[in-house]
Chains A and B, each alone.
Chain A
């Protein structure tokens, strides 16, 4: 596991949020590569290695997907559904990372077999702390199938 770099697919339409996530991961000095896409369509293209991501060298299979729910073109829940209904992709852990605290979103996400549901904290310290734990958990403790 250590020999291969840890790949994360970040699906986030807000560039500032993406920047914050990338920066906190960088500061945690975690050995991982984050691939950032900005909408649902791109995320699916990446996962299926098609369209702009036809070159499989540029888009290794991620070890975990960080998925925002409200993203353009293809909705986050739809992306989740596609991943979890695909023979090929369904073992990839999907962590929902969103601003939404709505019960409905939470329920729908777990109904779609999301592996985790995280709400972006408004508070900076909490945000940093969450990102740290998130990276640490998935990289260090979690065992991949």
Chain B
């Protein structure tokens, strides 16, 4: 994937390796040349010293030989030996002379160390010539005057004197030279050791440099890796906003890019997953509320079926029972209580009819709704009261409708039914109240408008305040009606999106039936649209 570009890990490693190798090679070369240079200088110096000593030694030997030849010539036992010595002397002096000349030219410009050595050397050359000259003089004078000549002895003495001085100087020179040679050797050893130390030091430097370079290269590689690991850990911990920076070698850049793409994909996936989950949860809660509603409906239906079967069966038993007795009485001619039995039968039949009518009514609510409209609640209350006027007059009820009732939004006929049923119910349970009074009004509870129908009749014990809205619930078995009135009222209010409840401080303290109609809010506005 990653090309071998200038910034890649491979290039870095190779470059690092090459640099270290080059430095090591450089160090080696440096060491080699250093030692070679030092040893070269030392070798020259040593050679020169050795040469100087050699020359000095040779000069000394030649000088001694010349001296020996002079002595042998002077003290020769025979003329033959003397002639041979003289011949050899001539050769020798010639050689010595040549040697001195050579030596002189050799040492011309010779970089003699300053000081004592030079002083000695500068004496040696003239002394050598003087010695040679004196040797010739001795030979010449001896040849003219013999051993016993006056000048012979003096020249011999002079020769001896020069010889002693020359030898003394040469020995001293050789001693100096030997000392210098030893010093040179010592210096050469020191220089080589120094060069070695330098080379070793440089090698150590290269080693340390290589290690640092390696560290830097590995840091350059591991830092982006560490960064990537840290980002990966953040992402693992759930922070999907982590972004890997693409620093360092180009492979890391490629990796970071791939990593970021992966993270982005993960973010997308998680996002869509979250959206899906939210969607699912919403659908689930919707489903749950639907199920709950269905269950509530089912429970209501079950209760309904149950009560219907019970309440329809009840009058049937009555009818069949009294018919049986009626037939029996007819056979025995017993006419006593006949009318009462027939009334029971008739009542039961009426009850069944009323029950069937109410059932039909109840089943229609929610299914058959008139178009929703603006309804002035005060007007509606008056209409409802008009429908139960007969009963109100019968009980001499003091009815009061609040003057400033608002306008609501709903099914006019159904809402009228609500008020009518509630007033009817109130009249039914006025009890023995001598000054019966029913009030239709409203109050505000927070931002809710609560309508109520209040009476000063029998009241309802707290335990039964919820029960009264149940289907076929009758607190007083003697009261007429199917026990469905309040169930119907509750259903209508609920279809309008409202709530209904009973309020009473207890038996004998009157009761109020309160309900809300969300009006322009809630379902009403939605249902207006076809």
Contacts and interface: CB of A to CB of B under 8 A. Distances in A.
Interface of A: 13-17, 19-20, 23, 38-39, 70-73, 98-102, 120-125, 127-128
A38 B475 CA distance: 11
Nearest to A125: B324
Contact of A16 (B313, B321, B324, B474): B321
B318 A17 contact: yes
B289 to A, nearest CB: 26
A68 B143 CA distance: 189
Contacts of B306: 100, 102
B121 interface: no
25 contacts: A13-B477, A14-B318, A16-B321, A16-B348, A17-B314, A17-B317, A17-B321, A20-B321, A38-B477, A71-B477, A72-B473, A72-B474, A72-B477, A99-B313, A99-B314, A102-B306, A120-B313, A120-B317, A121-B317, A122-B313, A122-B317, A123-B320, A124-B320, A124-B325, A127-B317
A128 B320 CA distance: 11
Contacts of A123: 320
Nearest to B472: A70
B344 A16 contact: yes
Contact of A128 (B316, B324, B474): B324
A121 B317 CA distance: 7
Nearest to A75: B467
B239 to A, nearest CB: 56
Contact of B475 (A20, A72, A99, A124): A72
Interface of B: 306-307, 309-310, 313-314, 316-318, 320-325, 344, 347-348, 464, 472-478
A109 B3 CA distance: 87
A122 B314 CA distance: 8
Given A120-B317, A124-B325, A128-B324, 20 more contacts: A13-B474, A14-B477, A15-B477, A16-B318, A16-B347, A17-B317, A17-B318, A20-B317, A20-B321, A38-B478, A71-B477, A73-B464, A99-B309, A102-B306, A102-B309, A120-B313, A121-B317, A124-B321, A125-B324, A127-B317
B314 A14 contact: yes
Nearest to B343: A16
A122 B320 contact: yes
Contacts of A102: 306, 309
Interface hub of B310, B322, B478 (most chain A Cβ within 10 A):
B310
Contact of A127 (B314, B321, B464): B321
Given A16-B347, A72-B477, A23 B313 contact: no
A73 B320 CA distance: 28
A16 B322 contact: yes
A78 B164 CA distance: 160
Given A23-B325, A127-B321, A72 B310 contact: no
Given A16-B344, A19-B344, A70 B321 contact: no
Contacts of B321: 16-17, 20, 124, 127
B331 to A, nearest CB: 13
Contacts of B344: 16, 19
A17 to B, nearest CB: 6
B310 A100 contact: yes
Nearest to A16: B318
Interface hub of A16, A38, A39, A72 (most chain B Cβ within 10 A):
A16
A125 B317 CA distance: 11
Nearest to B323: A124
A120 B315 CA distance: 12
A7 B474 CA distance: 28
A120 B320 CA distance: 11
A100 B472 CA distance: 14
A54 to B, nearest CB: 18
Nearest to A70: B310
Contacts of A99: 309-310, 313-314, 317
A76 to B, nearest CB: 12
A127 B324 contact: yes
Nearest to A19: B344
Contacts of A23: 325
A68 to B, nearest CB: 10
A16 B490 CA distance: 30
A127 B320 contact: yes
Contacts of A125: 324
Given A99-B313, A122-B313, A20 B318 contact: yes
B469 to A, nearest CB: 14
Interface hub of B313, B317, B322, B478 (most chain A Cβ within 10 A):
B317
Nearest to B344: A16
A28 to B, nearest CB: 14
Contacts of B309: 99-102
Nearest to B340: A19
Contacts of B310: 70, 98-100
B487 to A, nearest CB: 15
A41 B289 CA distance: 37
A74 B483 CA distance: 16
B475 to A, nearest CB: 5
A20 B318 CA distance: 8
A101 B317 CA distance: 14
A63 B36 CA distance: 139
Contact of A72 (B314, B320, B324, B476): B476
A39 B324 contact: no
A17 B317 CA distance: 8
Contacts of B348: 16
Contact of B324 (A14, A38, A71, A124): A124
A78 B10 CA distance: 89
A73 B322 CA distance: 27
Nearest to B325: A23
A128 B323 CA distance: 12
4 nearest CB pairs, A to B: A124-B324, A13-B477, A16-B318, A20-B321
